[in-house]
Each structure stands twice: as structure tokens, then as C-alpha cells.
Amino acid sequence: MTQKFHKYHGAGNDFILLDNRDGGFEPDKNTIRHMCRRRFGIGADGLMLLEESENSDFSMRYFNADGRESTMCGNGGRCIVLFAHSLGIISEKTTFGASDGYHQAIVLDAKTISLKMQDVTQVWQHQGNDVIDTGSPHYVQWVGDPDQVDIYTQGRTLRYDPDIFAGGVNVNFVKMVADRHIYIRTYERGVEAETLACGTGSVAAAISAHIRNRSDKSSYTLEARGGTLRVDFEDTGGNIFRNVWLTGPAEKVFEGTFAAFTAKR
């Protein structure tokens, strides 16, 4: 038995996408882990299922590379919108369902997607650093130079700190390099490694910069190792942010089929 798949990336954050509108693919943790495993599988930071939805154009289910179903993924959301567009499900504008509710998105061109994120209403601090829920929980630590940080060791330590977030948190090391321009590196839970970009992390970093600088700026450029993202939002006061948009590249890499296998548990 074989299953067709599509491989996409958003600023280097890469995903396996399956058209599962017929419900034929039954998510299995070991199968997904094998598919996402680099060198031995297809290789990806996560896997997404595009499924039918009664109240929107389609629904998105996201699984991290560890095989577990997870929370919202901003870069993944932009990639699945481009995937839906390629399948002819949507035109230039869409509304789709995800784990955190419904999202709007716009296909700006063949490789650029703008995705509306949920309102950000949960912002708090831990040991002087910001913790922000942008659909996924993020810890934002401002440092002198993210490239001088041991991302794996420090990220992993913070990721599992129950005092930050009980279920584990994504960790971002960030630096303001120019006005409204942020350099970001992210350790992602579920991937258990650094990813080349993180959409929800970029939103968290932009909002953190806005809060810390007491700025009237509400548009930021995020430079990740895999590409450039833009975050726009409205500050409505009281650390509540609405009309949050994440814009950046999304691109199909290749497609193929994978065969059934016996997973090693």
C-alpha cells in the first residue's frame, strides 16, 4: 500500500502534507515519526493533514516530528493554504479550521501567503523574559547574539521547565538588529531541535519587542535562518493584540509516494 504526499516549506520550516479529504490516512504516531525522520524517512519538521470541514473551506491537523498532534503552526498554516490553492479547493482568499479555531488567509502570489493568526491575549513573564501564547506557547529571551547561544542545550533546558509552561514551551532567542527588524532562532518542542523558522515564534517575538520598547510600531520584520517573515498586529491595550497577520514565503519542494512499513517502537 502506498500513500501520496507533498513536501512544502515556509522559510525553511518544512512539512509533509497529505490530502486526507477521503479520510483514508489514519494518523499513527510511529508512522508519522518515521515519515518525518530525516535520512530514514521523507524528512520534515512536521506533518499536516488537509481534511474536510463543515464550516470552512478545509481543516488543518498538525503533527510534530515526534508523531504527536500539536497546536497551531504558523508556517505550516501558510503552506497548507498554498497546498489547498494548488488542489483547486480555494482561490486567493480562504477561511480554514485549525486546532485553535478558524483562520483567514490570502494568497498574495505563487510563493507568498498572508495568514491571520488568533488574537493574542495571554502574555506573562518568567524570570524577566516574556511568555506569549500565539496559538502555541512561546518563551522569548532577548540576547546579545543568538548565534552565540547553544540553541540545542539552552533551548532544551527551557523547553522542559515546568515553571514556564506545564506542557512544555517553544523557546526563541532574539535580537533587535534594526528598527522593527528582529533576528530570531527557535528551538521547537515536538521537533526537539532548532527549526530554520517558526511562524508562531515570530509573532511572539514581534509582540515582545513591541511591549518591551513601549513602541507605537505594529509591523516587524523577522529574519530567521531559513528566510524572512513579516508580522503585523493591532495593540488594543492591556496586552491584548488583535488583527495579527503573519506573511512570508511558502513553496512546494516535491511530491511522491511512500510505502507502508513496520515501525520500530
The position carrying cell 525522520 is 37
Q: Which helix (H) or strand (E) holds 4?
A: strand 2-10
Q: Which residues does 151 contact at the CB level (< 8 Å), separation at least 6? A: 173, 185, 187, 194
The whole-angstrom separation of Cα 251 and Cα 38 is 19
73 is catalytic: yes
DSSP letters spanning 120-174: B-EEEEETTEEEEESSSEEEEEE-S-GGGS-HHHHHHHHHT-TTT-TT--EEEEE
79 is catalytic: no
The whole-angstrom separation of Cα 38 and Cα 142 is 31
The whole-angstrom separation of Cα 74 and Cα 192 is 17
The position carrying cell 520584520 is 221
Q: Which residues does 1 contact at the CB level (< 8 Å), separation at least 6? A: 259, 260
Q: Which three cell numbers stand for residue 223?
A: 529574519
Q: At what angle do helices 74-86 and 199-212 cross, to 10 degrees?
A: 130
Q: Which three cell numbers stand for residue 252?
A: 512546494
- Of the listed 17, 49, 73, 164, which one is catalytic? 73
- Of the listed 158, 198, 222, 231, which one is catalytic? 198
Residues marked active site are found at 73, 198
